[in-house]
Amino acid sequence: MPKLTKAELIRAVAEETGQSQDAVDKTIAALAQQIIKAVKNGDDVTLPGLGTFKRRENAARKGRNPATGEAMDIAASSSLGFKQSQAVKDELNA
């Protein structure tokens, strides 16, 4: 399955907006940092027409080492979750 690389994304956004690729790269990096910072502080970040980023908590649990089969404890952790907007869902299923 093909994927859009960061360089391709930057190039496409620069072409569409008329900005330089360097400016787009800095904007994307700043956007990502602000989303991470807000979610880390417990805030949800909603981008209308795209979706919502939020912090998800994963509870501690028991697991197994796949190489040895030995039982092990997996620590609790946080992850970045994303829920698409209805507009995105409709567009993808059109």
Question: 65 and 90: one domain?
Answer: yes
Tokens encoding 91: 């567009």
- For residue 58, the surrounding DSSP H or E stretch is strand 51-58
Domain count, the chain: 2
State the pLDDT confidence band at 22, using cuts at 50, 70 and 90.
very high
Question: 13 and 53: one domain?
Answer: no
Q: Which of 37, 51, 47, 61 is nearest to 81 (CA)?
A: 51
Question: 63 and 89: one domain?
Answer: yes
Question: 53 and 86: one domain?
Answer: yes
Question: 52 and 83: one domain?
Answer: yes
Domain that holds residue 75: 45-94
Question: 36 and 52: one domain?
Answer: no
User: Could you tell me which residues are beta bridge partners of residue 45?
Assistant: 53
Question: 63 and 85: one domain?
Answer: yes
Report pLDDT digits (tens) over 40-87: 999 999 999 999 999 999 999 999 999 999 999 999 999 999 999 999
What global pTM score does this model have?
0.80
